Amino acid sequence: MDLRWPAALLALLQVSSVKCDPYHLHGMYGTFHSANFPQFYDNNQIRNWTIRAPVGFRVVLYFTDFDLEDSYYDGVVCAADYVEISDGGPDANRTSGRLCGNSRLYPDDGPAPYVYQFRSSSDLMTVRFVSDFSNDLPGLPTPKGFQAVYKAEDINECEELERKFQTAVFPEQVGKCDHHCNNYMGGYQCTCKTGYKLAPDGYTCQGKCSNVFITSRAGVISSPGYPYNYPKQTDCDWTIQVDVGQRIQLDFLGVFEIEDYLTEDKCPYDWLKIVDGKFEKKICGTNQLPETYVSTETTLRLEFHSDMVKEMTGFQVSHRVQGVYCDPPVPPTHGRVTAAYGADSGRLPFESVVVFECELGYSMKGEHKITCLKDGSFDDDVPTCVRDT
């Protein structure tokens, strides 16, 4: 015997029983009413209807008829029979309060049919009906209960998130779209401006600035969005590469504004980091522009990081190639420089060669030429001239 069939049949019966349960309502539209409506309702009744709309929708409810015993006892309105609407499940804290009476007989009592609407904040609403041991008042017709209509209404999540963001104690904890929020039936989607990408959380827009490799002789690097605020949760890195015998000069421009915080760890949250060989330096703050920096290596890396809390203006920095030059050597006593190969306007760049010779009657001790190295020093000492014997 195939045991899958009983299991499938049981699952089908369970689904059917949920759909047929008059006190568990769902779907886009429906109606329900108190027992015996439009005849009078029974005494000693407690009934709960739970209404669930599709995900991304809220429940809207209104009454087409509402006629319950009106009561007031010991400071409690609707102390006898009442309807109570909860925003959520039966134990939800947010309710309509007790509703009773008949708006046609008592204009201030009971919800006006078709006019007064109740809206849930999510996809779930509960309607509770309670009647006591009697439901008639002397000289008045016996109340007949109520009939209600519910429908699903699309939630504009974009507006809801904006409202929560504006009223939150910690707005950064609200998942509001950083750039664009696009509402659609049953949901919403965040999108980002050109040059940004959507983070895995679905709402943060991160700058597209990782693994950027630069070989140009000059240019400008800035935080995403500069001069507007940089995005949250963004990691950028730029690697600048120049030829051997050259250096990279950084000059900060405009406004420099990166979140700073007084802790033992310098720049713990947002920062710009300069990585020059084994040297690393974190920069943050808002007081003044950082000083010009010249690399010691032919490769320099800039790293930018922002956390999920604060957004600020950021930074803009120009980079340009700076040549490596050796200081002109002092000729030896009784000697002179005869040539400087590769000299540039009196300066001695990388790989330029300086040639010496001694005066007549003197001999050279050491190499007669020296070469400028990539670190700005010569490959040897200046030679000396000694008298011939």
**Per-residue model confidence as pLDDT tens digits over 247-288:** 999 999 999 999 988 766 789 999 999 999 999 999 999 878
DSSP 175-211: ---SSEEEEETTEEEEE--TTEEE-TTSSPEEES-SS
Q: Please give the Cα distance from 98 to 80 (Å, whole number).
A: 10
Strand pairing category for 235-241 and 212-214: parallel
* pLDDT tens digits, 316-335: 999 999 999 999 999 999 99
Give pLDDT tens digits for 160-181: 899 999 988 888 788 889 899 9
State the residue for tokens 């010691």.
296
pLDDT of residue 93: 86
For 21-44, the pLDDT digits (tens) are 778 999 999 999 999 999 999 999
- DSSP notation for 130-159: E--S----TTSPPP-EEEEEEEEEE--HHH
- How confident is the model over 217-241, as a mean pLDDT? 93
Structure tokens at 371: 């070469």
3-state helix, strand, coil split of the chain in percent (to 5) is 10, 45, 50
- CB atoms closer than 10 angstroms to residue 49: 23
Under the banding of pLDDT at 50, 70 and 90, the label for residue 3 is: very low
What residue ranges define each of the domains in the chain, with the CATH number in brackets?
18-154 (2.60.120.290), 163-205 (2.10.25.10), 207-323 (2.60.120.290), 325-387 (2.10.70.10)
Alpha-carbon torsion (67, 68, 71, 76), positive or negative? negative
- Reported as a pLDDT band with limits 50, 70 and 90, residue 136 is low
Residue with more model confidence, 232 or 83: 83
**φ and ψ of 9, to 5 deg:** -65, -40
